[in-house]
Amino acid sequence: MHSVHWQRREDHPAIAEIFLQREEVLNAFHTEMAQEMIRACQELSKESGIRVVGLRSSTPKAFCTGADLKERNRLSEEEWHAQHRVFEEMFHSLADLPVPTIAVIDGYALAGGMELALNCDMWVVSEGAVFGLPEVTRGIMPGGGGTRLLAQRIGMHRAKELLFTGRRVTAREAAEMGLVNRILPPEKLEAAFLELAESISRNAPLSLRYIKGAVEELWGMPDEEAREREVDWYNRCVDTEDRREGVRAFNEKRQPRFQGR
């Protein structure tokens, strides 16, 4: 059985889901699992018609608990560095998916597991979820976006507190910090994910990709440069059939039929 599996939803083929399914170790990722995640993202990047990707766990006990430290305990320093390059590619392949991504989180999201979530665009979270970046308590530090992405999401001071202490936070506290898009009882997690994913998937595919690209590129850029780049992204949408279809549909008082062209 593979540690990572992806599939389109039969009821909503524009929505794909990546499942983490190494349940026996709460989805702690080893080298092979990371490689499977990279392949899944590569395949999804080439798949036509997908407008939203959800990242999920096959068990409610944990979203992901980070790197498998039992495997790492056997590695030399050279092997550790080589393995981490694979992990880096895993995080980057998820972050670089051109379509919007939603982390669907129940149970533990710790260390590299929380970083997987941080490399997604949005979070839909169970009230029982638990988050943390405890690397400092093991003599290491986050290396998959934790120091870079967490500060973007919640501000430098709060990010430093979580990173310096390694403490765990509840789903409610994570929501209060601004990390969460939806928080709800675990039995409503599926419906909330679908509601959000469907509302996104109805929109123009090229617009979604360009908006994601623009937000990622413009974050932190000097304003004068960002203004020019924003218009460059905007202009990519203008000469598209989707833009023309959107305007036609508005004037004809009907739902648009976007084709991604």
- Give the residue numbers marked as catalytic: 67, 112, 115, 135
Tokens of 247: 């305007």
Strand, helix or coil for residue 19: strand
Amino acid at position 2, single letter: H
Q: Is 183 exposed, middle or buried (0-12, 13-18, 19+ CB in 10 A)?
A: buried
Query: Among 36, 35, 17, which Cα is nearest to 193's?
Result: 17
Structure-block tokens of residue 4: 């990572």
- 159 contacts 142 by C-beta, under 8 angstroms: no
Q: How far apart are the first and last CA of the chain?
A: 37
